Structure 1
Amino acid sequence: MTNEPNKKPASDRSRPSRGPRRLEVVKDMTDTQHTIGMDAEHGRSVQEISHLFDVVGRESEVIAGLAGGMDDLRAVQAAKQALARLSPAEVRDVLAYRRTQQPGLLSQPGARPAGEPS
């Protein structure tokens, strides 16, 4: 291999330092009247922080909901695959059956049975 002048190094660690890091100036907050009940660093109130705890506390509930949603999605995908394997005669028969079971379903303007060309 030859050293190419425009070739990037393999990792960021091989690059020379870009100089000193920029430091932020931190001011001492002597006026506590405006920071009582607030997270001075981020300007959040006690109520906002309490709400964050409530949100984090719902993690298990959200995970359970996602798991249930994934189960539903898998069932939908399996049903779509099964429908895709139907013969045209089976599709016609089931559409006729569904029309008798759900009157008005296909009578809406622009409604078409699944699988019919647009």
Structure 2
Amino acid sequence: MKKFLLLTSLVLFAVACDNETEGQPEKEIAEKVVDSVQVYQGNFISVGKSAVLKGDTFVYQVKMDSVAFQLTDSLSAFKKDENSIVPIKVKGQVKKNIQATGYSQLIEITEVVDIMAKPIIKMNE
């Protein structure tokens, strides 16, 4: 009789434990996607047809595309002379510079967020 009760209790225990795993939903793991377009703040320095964005912890060569040329043209109202430094905030994507000249990293500016300098009023003499 004791063997029968032991066998019955083992069977009931095994059946009862089998259904517990189905009731609990699996936890979903969400992946974080890193946005490659970030906001960068620094000093925009342009000389001729090349430019550099220098921040507190970085120095990037600027890829001179249509956005960069428009930015260079629009900064003429903020410059005292040809080689002035203008503080700006831009959105861009940093890539490794494949050219042998210049800096090791290149920023491709996608959007100008803010020009943090005041326009300079030039007096006609």
TM-score, length of structure 1 as denominator length? 0.21
Structure 2 length as normaliser, TM-score? 0.20
Greater fraction of residues in helix? 1
Higher relative contact order (CA 8 A, sep 6+): 2
